[in-house]
Structure 1
Amino acid sequence: MNLIERAIRAVSSVVMALAAVALILMMLMVTLDVVGKYIFTAPVPVTLEMVSNYYMVAVVFLPMAAVELWGGHIHVELIHARLPRVGRRILDVTAHALAFLFFAMLTVFGWEVAMEKFEVGEYLMGQYSLVIWPSRFLVPLGCGLIAALLILKTVRSAIQLARPDLDPDDQPSAHGATE
């Protein structure tokens, strides 16, 4: 395992832990809000705003690279499994490269939006004001991390394609966790 992959794994673990904390906090806040609303007729203020602007964004975007490392994203083996080895390798390079381009674009555009919202100091007005610009940086963080992993997987798949003498069992799986 090379240095880049170790760094991606380490950062993925940290942001996955942050996503887990966000999920727990979201469950607690929603539970307290429901109990407060129906038992004490006093819901927790800004629950909807916190859940939709912070917790949900963290839970969706932060763990994407870790899920990719574990091979947890959806992939369809229907065609892949029926192709010869060269066909599978071409499909792997293509799929990883296209996914990288998609997440790289999301990273760039997400960063631009986050910077715009940071500069204007985005917040929600209501009974309570809530600063929400920091949550805008979670999107490029999560997308950038998976983009870095996908470029690594693209290069590995391309090397496997260019080197037919390599045994696929000696290389990290194109669709699963790397060892």
Structure 2
Amino acid sequence: MQTIDLFLGRIGRLLAFLASLCLVVMMFQICLDVGGRYLFGKPMPSTLEIVSDWWMPALIFLPLLNVEWRNENIAVDLFYQGLGPKAQALLDAFALICFGAFLALIAYAGFEQALRAYRQGEFIVGMIPVITWPPRFFLPVAGFLTALLCLVRAAGAVSRAASSQTQNSDQ
């Protein structure tokens, strides 16, 4: 399980790096668009379409695995801190299974939409045609990988709960 967790962590860092590259390219493209519009009266063609259909989905979905791997999702732990280690581990497992199942369902629906877009060769006609089907796969890929990480970590939490029970019974 530890090996899978570390492997998913590496993939998460790679996806987060790709998202940061997308951010830099997006900023550069917007600067060129604004500069071209106000300095030369010629904006970059289809900037709005490219930003909204390529760069924004990349910024939203690609870092998802890295955020979960680093345990940086928002958590409210009002009662959690007062529980014992076994109860915390079981609660962790429950939350991870619920989050993983939610992500798997969302990723599955996104995968169906991405396949439909791929089959149709989806694109938007702006100043220039912009192919829009490839970024449709950002959500399913990131969602499935993050769901897998959640399941791996849920198994680890169940293992922690079982080991804390055996430690308590030994004492």
TM-score by length of 2: 0.91
Amino acid at match of 1:15: L
Partners of 1:28 and 1:157 in 2: CA distance? 43
Matches within 5 A, 1:14-163: 14-163=14-163
Q: Secondary structure at the match of 1:164?
A: helix
Partners of 2:86 and 2:106 in 1: CA distance? 30
Partners of 1:86 and 1:130 in 2: CA distance? 52
Amino acid at match of 1:10: R
Q: Secondary structure at the match of 2:79?
A: helix
Q: Which range moves more in the overlay, 134-143 or 70-79?
A: 70-79
Amino acid at match of 1:154: A
Q: Secondary structure at the match of 1:78?
A: coil
Q: Tell me the CA shift for residue 165 of structure 1.
A: 5.0
Partners of 2:58 and 2:166 in 1: CA distance? 39
Quick check: 1:68–1:146 contact (8 Å CA) kept in 2? yes
Partners of 1:82 and 1:98 in 2: CA distance? 22
Amino acid at match of 1:30: I
Partners of 1:26 and 1:120 in 2: CA distance? 26
Higher helix share: 2
Instruction: Give 1:174's aligned residue.
Output: none
Change (3 A) 1:65 1:130: same
Q: Tell me the CA shift for residue 166 of structure 1.
A: 7.3
Instruction: Give 1:175's aligned residue.
Output: none
Unaligned 5+ residue runs, structure 1?
A: 168-179
TM-score by length of 1: 0.87
Amino acid at match of 2:138: L
Matches within 5 A, 1:3-18: 3-18=3-18
Change (3 A) 1:41 1:2: same
Q: Secondary structure at the match of 2:164?
A: coil
Q: Which range moves more in the overlay, 81-90 or 142-151?
A: 81-90
Quick check: 1:160–1:166 contact (8 Å CA) kept in 2? no
How much is the aligned-residue C-alpha RMSD, in angstroms?
A: 1.6
Q: Which range moves more in the overlay, 53-62 or 39-48?
A: 39-48
Instruction: Give 1:173's aligned residue.
Output: none
Amino acid at match of 1:150: C
Q: Tell me the CA shift for residue 53 of structure 1.
A: 0.5
Partners of 1:82 and 1:47 in 2: CA distance? 51
Partners of 2:16 and 2:25 in 1: CA distance? 14
Quick check: 1:64–1:143 contact (8 Å CA) kept in 2? yes
